[in-house]
Amino acid sequence: MQSFNATWSKIECTIQGCLKQMNLSLFEEVRGWIYESFDKIKSTGLHSVSNTLCPYPLLTDGIYRQIFTALILTNLGEHLRSSGCHIANLSYSDFTVKHGIAGCFKSLLRQLVMVSLEAYDITALASWYCQKENNGKPVVLIIDSIEQCYGPVLAGFVSIIGEWVIKIPIILVFGVATTIDALRKQLPSEALQCLNCCKFTLPSPSERMNAIVGAIFAKPSLGFSVGHEVAVFLRNYFSRHDGTITSFIRALKIACTKHYSLEPLSFLSRIMYDEETEGTWSIMCESLPVSKLEYAFDLPSCRRDSLNRKSGSEIAQGLFDFRRLWKGWTCVLLCLFEIGRISKMQLLDIFCEAIGQTTSDVHSSNGSSLSSVTSQKLCHATIVLDFSLRNHSLKLDVISSDYRTSITYGAHHSLEISPASLSSLLESWAKHTKDIDEIHSKVRQLQSLLRSVDNDGASVRKEHIKIGRRPALEIFADVEDDGALKVNEKAAMLMKQIVEDMLKPIESIPFHEIFFFKHVGVLRSALTGDPRKMIQLDLLKSPSYLRCICCRTGDKALRPSMHDTSIL
């Protein structure tokens, strides 16, 4: 399972990095809000030892008693600590009848002052903050699961720190709430008056799913993906579990585990991320046992392709070809998603449709390259750009024929997008095609064309302002005819070209089974099947692995030495 551990480690790190990057912009927004709140609190008075230990004065202006609060993730602390904040984490278990308000402050002092007191003393916290090395930084208290806190204890805690907010600039950050009025339900009006709330919204599950699918299924460098039926099952499984990312990742890990345990040649998937040269891989493939070679060329994709030269070098060449084609395939997938994003389409839907329709077309075209039927369907799913200088906008039409799929979801639907939006779309295409020089250069040419058309239109408008006599339509005519034709035709032709050239039927390419997990029944049983039955089946298979003398070969009965709990 060494290959599985290496691959899943890469997938797991990719997912964590992807989610961390999604939260980074939100964390920066929270950090900016915290320091803005901190500056407002500091502007109300100076901190010194002489006045810190005095009771909090009653002020006539109620704003000075307000504590800045947020509803946000509890794992924000690490990011804020690296930004110079003092961080303390309190859980709902600190706000119970048993511990009371004293328990909250004891936990707070342990984390910040590094002392343990029998009775809570907020002046100890104030003295700690007056020290030179601690002053000048906001104190952020992160409280998770506010809805599970005992309301009266939480209200008392808020009231006390509200009285000391000028001397100890404490900012509360509450964890994720399941309802909008969570604070109102937990705290009385007196405590709510001490809070100046600010709400931050986390990325939605669909946005997180798009990021994860793009980071895993659109990255050949990981060496693992799933077939059409498994992808559809994962999508439905995600939907049935209320869109929880955890359930999707769990199912994905099981799929990866099953793939590496069932596919004898799955260890060759390292070719996607291994730093060894092609020559080294050729030698490795040529040294495969005869049984492995026979198995490789007996794969369904190889039988369809009628490969006759059953040698290790043929396997190596097939793996290199697949790596190149898979790279191009994922490039088109991401470009299609940039178009579908405008119509709120999900990347997993596009992935399921793209890999599914090419599979069906492969069967109808007897394993040939992308069939004319598929090409026609996908071309109808691409965009038609109509540049109009009259209204200074771009019309994007997503056209489809009678073949209605998720890719062609936007049938007969028009969207008005600005030139800036088209520029952003082309910039995304440029990013996705940066490793494919031929396509990348054409995207750059199209970007230059768009800029030139925009500049020509701007110069014509300036000239129109100067002369002030000719109608705008007449002045714009030449620019519109030439610019619209170029942008419209070249953008449509570019999308059509990369679809036809690079969206190959991935599940018909020889040796794709080494990288793609396609056993949807195995995955379904692992997720929803009877675990005791699976254990029994594993026990029945054990004699074939152990090959001990006491066990008869081919006997399907349970051995007497097995524990009673192994019998259904």
Condensed to tens digits (0 to 9), the pLDDT of residues 319-344 reads 888 888 898 899 889 988 888 887 78
Which pair of tokens denotes residue 387? 């540049």
pLDDT at 466 over 70: no
More confident residue, 150 or 1: 150
170 DSSP β-pair partners? 139
Separation between Cα atoms, residue 444 and residue 458, nearest integer Å = 21
Residue 107 lies in a domain: yes
Q: What average pLDDT score do residues 466-488 get?
A: 47
Of 322, 326, 328, 316, give the one whose Cα is nearest residue 278.
316
What pLDDT shows up at residue 531? 64
Q: What is the DSSP letter of 202?
A: P
Residue 7 lies in a domain: no
Co-location of 476 and 560 in the same domain? no
Of 94, 89, 92, give the one whose Cα is nearest residue 76.
89
Q: b/e string for 150-178 if b means 16 or more Cβ within 10 A?
A: bebbbbbbbbbbbbbbbbbbbbbbbbebe
Question: Looking at 161-170, 194-203, 222-231, which range is the least confident one?
Answer: 194-203
Co-location of 211 and 189 in the same domain? no
Co-location of 390 and 477 in the same domain? yes
Separation between Cα atoms, residue 190 and residue 158, nearest integer Å = 10
Which among 199, 214, 249 is the end of a domain?
199
Co-location of 267 and 379 in the same domain? yes
What pLDDT shows up at residue 529? 66
516 DSSP β-pair partners? 225
Of 262, 294, 214, give the one whose Cα is nearest residue 516.
262
Co-location of 397 and 379 in the same domain? yes
Which among 152, 184, 199 is the end of a domain?
199
SS3 383: strand
**Structural domain range at position 231:** 206-508
For the ranges 62-66, 140-144, 384-388, 498-502, the one whose mean pLDDT is highest:
140-144
Co-location of 212 and 163 in the same domain? no
Report the number of distinct structural domains present in the chain: 3
Q: What average pLDDT score do residues 144-156 get?
A: 85
393 DSSP β-pair partners? 388
What pLDDT shows up at residue 11? 92
Geometric angle at alpha carbon 299, from 295 and 305, rounded to 5°: 125
Residue 541 lies in a domain: yes
What pLDDT shows up at residue 227? 92
Co-location of 421 and 405 in the same domain? yes
Co-location of 92 and 240 in the same domain? no
Co-location of 293 and 181 in the same domain? no
Co-location of 153 and 252 in the same domain? no
Residue 402 lies in a domain: yes
Which among 199, 228, 249 is the end of a domain?
199
Residue 6 lies in a domain: no
Separation between Cα atoms, residue 220 and residue 504, nearest integer Å = 14
Q: What angle do helix axes 312-340 and 347-364 make, rounded to 10 degrees? A: 130
Of 113, 184, 120, give the one whose Cα is nearest residue 146.
184
More confident residue, 275 or 218: 218
Of 250, 238, 254, give the one whose Cα is nearest residue 206.
238
pLDDT at 151 over 60: yes
Q: What average pLDDT score do residues 394-407 get?
A: 39
Helix boundaries (H) for 87-196? 100-112, 122-130, 151-163, 182-186, 189-192
Separation between Cα atoms, residue 493 and residue 488, nearest integer Å = 9
User: pLDDT tens digits for 246-257?
Assistant: 888 989 999 999
**Pairing of the two strands 139-143 and 170-174:** parallel
Separation between Cα atoms, residue 297 and residue 305, nearest integer Å = 10
pLDDT at 470 over 70: no
**Residue 185: CATH number of its domain:** 3.40.50
Q: What average pLDDT score do residues 212-233 get?
A: 90
Residue 542 lies in a domain: yes
Question: What is the distance of C-alpha 447 from the center of its chain?
Answer: 28
Co-location of 95 and 111 in the same domain? yes
Residue 524 lies in a domain: no
179: left (phi > 0), else alpha (psi -120 to 50), else beta?
A: beta
For the ranges 276-290, 382-396, 401-415, 488-502, the one whose mean pLDDT is highest:
276-290
Co-location of 275 and 150 in the same domain? no
Question: What is the distance of C-alpha 42 from the center of its chain?
Answer: 39
What pLDDT shows up at residue 553? 55
Do the Cβ atoms of 245 and 209 come closer than 8 Å?
A: yes
Geometric angle at alpha carbon 72, from 67 and 76, rounded to 5°: 100
Q: What share of the chain is helix, strand, coil (3-state, %, to 5)?
A: 60, 10, 30
User: pLDDT tens digits for 522-534?
Assistant: 998 888 766 667 6
More confident residue, 293 or 273: 293
Residue 185 lies in a domain: yes
